[in-house]
Amino acid sequence: MCICILYLNVLSRISGSQATEVKVSEVEFNPNFVSRMIPKLEWSALVQAADGLGHLQDLPTELIADYEANEDFLRKVHRVLLEVEVLEGCLQCPESGREFPITRGVPNMLLNEEEA
């Protein structure tokens, strides 16, 4: 069984063709929460996912130093983490290529019997 990798609300290996419905909404910005989330993320995966969804905008490809104090930067991360949502699409495992559907904003990670 392959272990598929998930990056919380930011999805790995999502390309434009795979996300058929993306929604951007306004969510209250909380710099403290965003700062604390950054060390938990794999930055390159975040950038790749955002890019795949067409929402990279000006998010830097490398994590900047001293980001805690940089409100501008934190707001960009906030947008991608909490404001951009895939409603319909799929997640793809970078190892196996297996796709997991996303319906109404919820990914379904259940494997079929043959794959278990």
Partner 1 sequence: MAIHCSRTCLQYLIHLAHDNVDFRLPEIMALLSLRGKQFDPGENFEEKSPFWRLNGLSEEDVKSIMARTVCAKSAFELWGHGRTHSELRTSLLKYPTENMSPFLQKDSTYKINVYTFNKTLEFEDRIKKIDELEYLPFKGRVNLKNPKHTFSLLEDYGMDPNNIPETPLYIYFGRWISDGQRELIRSHSVKNRHFIGNTSMDAGLSFIMANHARVKAHDLVYDPFVGTGSLLVACSHFGAYVCGMDIDYNTIHGMGKASRKNQKWRGPDENIRANLRQYGSEKLYVDVLVSDASKAVWRDGVLFDAIVTDPPYGIRESTRRTGSQKDSVNSVKPFEDYVGDSHVPVSMAYHLSDIFTDLLNFSAHHLVIGGRLVYWLPIYRPEYCEEMVPLHPCLRLVSNCEQTLSSHTSRRLITMEKIKEPEETDALAHLSDPHFSVYQGHNAFREKYFSGISKRMLTGKEETNKIANGGE
Burial class (CB in 10 A: 0-12, 13-18, 19+), 6: middle
- Our CB check for partner 1 shows the closer of 46 and 76 to be 46
- Our CB check for partner 1 shows the closer of 58 and 69 to be 69
Residue 100 CA from chain centroid, whole number: 14
* CB of 41 vs partner 1, minimal distance in Å: 9
- Cα atoms in the Cβ-side hemisphere of radius 13 Å centred on 35: 11
Site residues, partner 1 (CB under 8 A): 1, 3-9, 27-28, 30, 32-33, 36-37, 40, 42, 82, 103-104, 106-114, 116
DSSP of 39-56: GGS-HHHHHHHHHHTT--
- Our CB check for partner 1 shows the closer of 14 and 37 to be 37
* CB of 26 vs partner 1, minimal distance in Å: 9
* CB of 54 vs partner 1, minimal distance in Å: 20
* CB of 43 vs partner 1, minimal distance in Å: 13
Q: What Å distances lie between residue 105 and 8, 30, 31, 34, 45, CA to CA?
A: 12, 22, 24, 21, 19
- Our CB check for partner 1 shows the closer of 7 and 70 to be 7
